[in-house]
Structure 1
Amino acid sequence: MAKRLTLYIFIGLALGLLVGWAINAAMADGTAATQERLATIAGHFSVVSTLFLRLIKMIIAPLVFATLVSGIIHMADTSALGRIGGRALAWFIGASFISLLLGLVLVNIFKPGVGLELDLPTATGSTSLATADFSIAKFVTHLVPTSMFDAMANNEILQIVVLSLFVGVGITSLGSGGQRLAGLVEEMVAVMLKITEYVMRVAPIAVFAAVAAAVIERGVGIVVTFGYFIGVFYLGLALLWVVLLSAAWILLRANPIVLLRNIREPILLAFSTASSEAAFPRTLEALDRGGVPRRISSFVLPLGYSFNLDGSMMYMAFAIMFIAQAYGVEMDLWQQFTVLLILMVTSKGVAGVPRASLVVVAATLSFVNLPEAGLLLILAIDHFLDMGRTATNVVGNAVACTAVARWEGVLGVEEEPEPAALALEIETTPVSKV
């Protein structure tokens, strides 16, 4: 089933490119009226992909909550939570630093913003992006939900993680009294995975619609205009993949070919829809096939969605330096290192913000006295860049989960059921009798 779905997604991607190019080529004449008609047609196609993403958003919160609570219950030793969380955060920080550093090195070597033959937006121009005032205090207070229903309704992944930690630890502390609740959580996991299977059956159609809409409205000409910048950026992503997979091979003894084969479907899904949420359920299942215990992946993967956005980190470094080069602003090593440190902090916990990478870049530009209007240069191609960085985020999180599982000594190990789980099975057996 997984192989067929991957094939169908690839076919949907190819057909989307073909149909989008055909419609754009047949209608585009450079006039504003035609561009509006193209945007309207693209909007019709986007209805399908929007519905698919809404279906994904519908299952993300209960899926994250159920799998994470289930993983905590089966962890038995709740002190392991701190150890696993610490190891995950250590990997996230290291991967984020490498992503930013590699992006800064490449953009300084290839200088994609130098000699750009485009009319630069005026420094006072507006991008219409709501730039949040990032601060440590706001980030910390935002971790705790004001209501469990509010966190679920808004798909606030970090808040759902915090809520799940309390619920999981609470159920575990009840001992035998929490066995029925534990059973309900297990059943909820099974139900959400079954719903995920149903939703994924329409993924190829959604991929077709999403890609077609992007190409219809923007055309392939914009890719040619910014070809050098896009090429350098994707070269950087490719090198980042090599670094991450090499680390998995050298440090973790994890076969990178097998890892890529296991996660090929969520990678393709993330690339074609430019949505990390769309890839979450399939990434979870792919990690199961890769030997990562569910109690590890269900805890580390949601954290990675806020703390381990490797592709997005590289994009932010590229975007800021590209804008600086386009406006002829020289940034010394200390200024670039300052940008790196700022991005390390401000990029955390914004996964639920629409166009989060652009918002973080816009907020960071003011720190280094660069015009926010510079973002207008890359807004037209942001969707094509978002496809690559989203797929890279999936790879980075899969490697992170594999790393933590290896450090815990449970990668590829069939774990014995915990005593609590055995007791649960014995306890609930009479209930199932008619």
Structure 2
Amino acid sequence: MSTSTTSSPTTPRRTRNPLRAIVRIPFGWQVLIGLVLGVVLGLVAAQIGPVTATDANPDGANWLTTALNTIGTIFVTLLKALVPPLIFLAIITSIANLRGVTNAARLAGKTLLWFAITSLIAVSIGIALGAVTSPGANSGVSADAAQASDTQGGWMDFLTGLVPTNFLGIEGSAGDDGTVSLSFNALQILVISIAVGIAVLSVGEKAEPFLKVTGSALEIVQKLLWWVIRLAPIGTVGLLGNAVASYGWNAIGQLGVFVADVYIGLFLVLLVVYPVLLKLNGLSIGSFFRGVWPATSLGFVSRSSLGTMPMTQSVTERMGVPRHYASFAVPLGATTKMDGCAAIYPALAAIFVANFYGVPLGVTDYLLIVLVSVLGSAATAGMTGATVMLTLTLSTLGLPLEGVGLLLAIDPILDMGRTALNVTGQSLVAVIVAKREKILDQPAYDDARRTSFQAIQAEEAQDAQDGQDAHDGADAEAPAGAGSDTDSDREKQPATA
């Protein structure tokens, strides 16, 4: 006797999981939806208007603005929490990866040279736009908004900031209410990481166990960062929504010429300068922009070059740049190469402040802006915002630091475009240097295509699995007693027939 397995017509159908349906939406579309939703909710919050200020809510922000601000703050805080270990582990690993490369010093020198070349072109465009449009003389912003930033970037501050106060680069500050808050100095962590990386090279074979731990820790931190990046569409809603609700279109209207100058400069570098450099080096423009798009779009959303670094490195490797070089050039670029934050923006901002206060700028002042932009890029250290670089430029020119306050209202909106250009330029330099040094996988570059966040994550997971399988296979084939040997020890053992 057989039993029928056919379900009856009354059997309820399986309901669809809405979360699974959302996850299946391509990541780029999720970000785009987040952008639109952020603007809409920001406009709604602005229409609701402020509420009566209380002790718990001194600014009188309405519930929607508070919610948007909280969402955006949590997303940025999660990124910042992973930045210190990411800098430390990535820089050490990237320096160590060059130990087996015969032309490592040449690659490093060429990378820094191209960083300087692209920064020089970008700052020149910023100066030209500022000189033609005089953004500070055509603004409607009130002088009452002027205030000096709490974060200063004078040359003495920059130089003394290079010296680590402790091994972890952690700083503490006391609040007015007696509480103590901890923060990190990304520039100091960079210096510490470079010193440790060089020490690893000097120690040689004895540092292999340390490098294995460092490599494993970097994989863990990057996996955590991938998870945070997955929240970028939600973070976009909060960040953009809060910016629109808090500042609205009035602030952009008052600083319309300046905002237009910044974005025109960014687009000129992105869509004119970069394509020209690619063409001069015999590289396909379409292949590059298709390949780099995931990093560019994520940089626009996250406003953090360091937070975008795993994505930037992944797309750079997918475009044919060898891993040993990409793992050096991209982390270095994420901390020192800022065509948006450290070139175009500070040049235009300095001219704006000079126009606003009626301070004439001469040829020497413009040359100083160029010098500061090319040499002081590391001061931004890859995190959101460019206040340090701006105050460094203003202090060098002797301009009022209170001018920073005039631009703070629109900084989040400008920072999105600046960071997108930063990460695109970081990948561009790695591709160009690899091409000029004849280490670029040209077929892989030519076949570069626009891909999704999910595809990159899947490829990363597959690479990790392949590496684990290869390691397990090597352990299985190794003779008894050899399991405790390091890879370098195995290489030294004579081959047996």
Q: TM-score range by the shorter chain?
A: 0.7 to 0.9
Task: Give the number of aligned pairs.
Answer: 418
Q: Name the CA distance, whole Å, in 2 between partners of 1:183 and 1:42.
A: 46
Structure 2: which 5+ runs fail to align? 1-22, 172-182, 445-469, 485-497
Q: Say whether residues 1:166 and 2:201 are aligned partners.
A: no
Deviation at 1:315, TM superposition (A): 0.3
Change (3 A) 1:195 1:115: closer
Deviation at 1:149, TM superposition (A): 7.2
| Aligned equivalent of 1:23, options 15, 22, 45 | 45
- Which residue of 1 is the match for residue 35 of structure 2? 13
Q: Per residue, is there more helix in 1 or in 2?
A: 1
Change (3 A) 1:218 1:116: closer
Deviation at 1:397, TM superposition (A): 0.9
Change (3 A) 1:234 1:401: same
- Which residue of 1 is the match for residue 115 of structure 2? 92
Q: Which amino acid aligns with 2:37?
A: L
Please say which structure displays the higher CA radius of gyration. 2
- Which residue of 2 is the match for residue 271 of structure 1? 300
Q: Tell me the SS of whatever aligns to 1:329.
A: coil
Matches within 5 A, 1:282-431: 282-312=311-341, 313-351=343-381, 355=385, 357-412=386-441, 428-429=475-476, 430=478, 431=483
- Which residue of 1 is the match for residue 154 of structure 2? 133
Q: Deviations over 1:36-95 (max 9, x none)?
A: 233775343233333333333344444444455444455453553321211111111111
Q: Name the CA distance, whole Å, in 2 between partners of 1:311 and 1:326.
A: 22
> After alignment, is 322-331 or 53-62 more displaced?
53-62
> After alignment, is 15-24 or 402-411 more displaced?
402-411
Q: Deviations over 1:16-39 (max 9, x none)?
A: 11111111123269x989992337
Q: Deviations over 1:365-418 (max 9, x none)?
A: 244342222222212111111111111111111111112222332212699xxx
Q: Name the CA distance, whole Å, in 1 between partners of 2:442 and 2:235.
A: 36
Q: What is the Cα-based RMSD across aligned positions, in Å?
A: 3.6
Query: Relative CO higher for 1 or 2, CA cutoff 8 Å, sep ≥ 6?
Result: 1
Q: Tell me the SS of whatever aligns to 1:370.
A: coil
Q: Name the CA distance, whole Å, in 1 between partners of 2:412 and 2:121.
A: 24
* Residues 244 and 396 in structure 1, CA contact (< 8 A), matched pair in contact too: no
Structure 1: which 5+ runs fail to align? 416-422
* Residues 310 and 393 in structure 1, CA contact (< 8 A), matched pair in contact too: yes
Q: Which amino acid aligns with 1:225?
A: Q
> After alignment, is 242-251 or 300-309 more displaced?
242-251
TM-score when scaled to structure 2?
0.73
Q: Percent identity?
A: 26
Change (3 A) 1:236 1:413: closer
Matches within 5 A, 1:108-187: 108-121=131-144, 126-135=147-156, 138=159, 142=162, 146-147=166-167, 154-156=185-187, 158-159=190-191, 161-163=193-195, 165-166=197-198, 168-170=200-202, 173-174=204-205, 181-187=210-216
> After alignment, is 368-377 or 153-162 more displaced?
153-162
Change (3 A) 1:54 1:79: farther
Change (3 A) 1:265 1:41: same
